[in-house]
Amino acid sequence: MMRYAHIVGWGCYLPNRLVTNDELSTMVDTTDEWIFQRTGIRTRHIAAAHETTATLAFEAAARALTVADLNPSQVELIIVATSTPEYMFPSTACKVQDYLGASRAGAFDLSAACSGFVYALQMASQSIATGAVRNAVVIGSETMSRVIDWSDRGTCVLFGDGAGAVVLKGSSVPGGVMATTLRSDGSGADLLSLPALYHNPVPIAGAEYSSNGHHKNIIDMDGRQVYRFATNVIASSIQDVLKKCELTADDIALIIPHQANTRIIEAAARKLKLPMEKFYMNVEHNGNTSAASIPLALCDAVSEGRLRPDDNIVFVGFGGGLTWAASIVKWDVTPPEISFVDHEWKRVRYIMARGRSRLRRWQRRVEANMVRSSGNNKEPGN
Ligand code: COA
């Protein structure tokens, strides 16, 4: 039985455009010093007009599949954790499935805000553990820049865009995703929210809305309360998941937290009596990329050589919902050498996948026209 879900591939994508704190200070009343001191953030990446949550997710997933040496046609499940889908449906995951040409994969989006990646990892690893699928691509992808009020200095300095992905593969060898704890508290829904529709008629009690009473589809946050919530749940969920695995903090090589804010992690580290070196941080460069932040940090940790085979690592996420989650993963791979030619050759198959997709769309249209012209177009009820 292939009941252990191992991480065998990882990949990330950040848009080219980098926005510094100084640039933000030309847009709102803020300074590089204020932002860095309160959050640890110096820069964030912002998606170009032609980029979407799905294209970012595709780039990350394609890179992860290259590392895993897995053909897209073999992928059985794609989960995209995101709070910034382009559509309620089709899901971002379905778009990624199409871009990848993952013709045998089931695909869906998962909504758990900044905890989304850890939630999705758990869903995918359990699907592997039960034998429902043999592998899965788990992606966190966000275009936060599209849901920010760029005139609100309290939120616009915090967030950034990006995507990170991992490939999970079933194995009979113990390891991979070892234990997870998932938690939520909907009574805190108003502390951090993002309405899905512009004219949603049912406001969340406590959340602030525009003067005409309508939700705007931008982020609404009570920074202080979220700060307090986050420092508490990081510590408790790490302790929880360690207990599940019968491990102690000494057994953990690296904790990769959701990258919201350096001060939050410092406070959590103090609570856990752990040194900051035990926590991997890259919020300085990327800002808060919500569900994408953990896999983005994982990619950087791997490329900096911070993970060795047999290391136990912890992912810990927290955010809107309220939601929080932690996972212990045994890291058991060494990054493979990928030649330029191999990398480029693998890109060709995605061009072919887009061609096949276009062909299918065209074929559907031709078939529909043929049915119409043959007079066989009776609508139900006609
Ligand atoms: N630049 C300059 N001043 C700013 C500012 C900015 N970007 N944003 C807010 N301020 C001002 C406020 O207007 C306020 O001014 P006032 O005292 O004149 O009213 C002052 O700074 C203090 O505001 P406050 O909101 O109390 O600051 P804070 O110390 O709580 O820091 C956060 C604000 C957002 C950095 C902090 O609350 C935080 O990190 N919260 C968690 C947010 C988070 O990580 N969310 C995502 C979780 S997934």
Which numbered atom of ligand 1 lies nearest the CA of 230? 47
**Whether 245 and 143 share a structural domain:** yes
End-to-end CA distance of the chain: 53
Q: What is the pLDDT along the chain (382 residues), one digit of tens a residue?
A: 679 999 999 999 999 999 999 999 999 999 999 999 999 999 999 999 999 999 999 999 999 999 999 999 999 999 999 999 999 999 999 999 999 999 999 999 999 999 999 999 999 999 999 999 999 999 999 999 999 999 999 999 999 999 999 999 999 999 999 999 999 999 999 999 998 865 554 555 555 555 555 556 889 999 999 999 999 999 999 999 999 999 999 999 999 999 999 999 999 999 999 999 999 999 999 999 999 999 999 999 999 999 999 999 999 999 999 999 999 999 988 778 888 888 888 889 999 999 999 999 999 999 999 988 887 656 665 5
Nearest CA to ligand 1 atom 10: 154
Same domain, yes or no: 239 and 359: no
Domain boundaries, position 85: 4-193+216-331
What SS3 state is found at 184? strand
CB neighbours of residue 268 within 10 Å: 24
Q: Any idea which residues carry the catalytic annotation?
A: 114, 258, 288
Within a domain: residue 171? yes
- Residues 36 and 145 both lie in one domain: yes
Q: Which of 111, 117, 261, 288 should be mutated for ligand 1, with most atoms under 8 A from CB?
A: 261
| 59 domain residue, yes or no | yes
For residues 264 and 348, membership in a common domain is answered with no
Q: How many domains does the chain have?
A: 2
- Please give the model's pTM, rounded to 2 decimal places: 0.93
Please give the structure tokens belonging to residue 54: 């799905």
Do both 343 and 231 map to the same domain? no
Q: Which helix (H) or strand (E) holds 295?
A: helix 293-303
Pocket of ligand 1 contains residue 157 by CB under 6 Å: yes
In the sheet with 176-184, reading across from the earlier edge strand, the strands are 176-184, 323-331, 311-319, 254-257
224 CA distance to ligand 1 middle (Å): 7
Do 304 and 344 sit in the same domain of this protein? no
Contact 170, 1 (CB under 8 A): no
- Does some domain include residue 185? yes
pLDDT tens digits, 295-314: 999 999 999 999 999 999 99
Q: Which two tokens stand for residue 95?
A: 């778009």
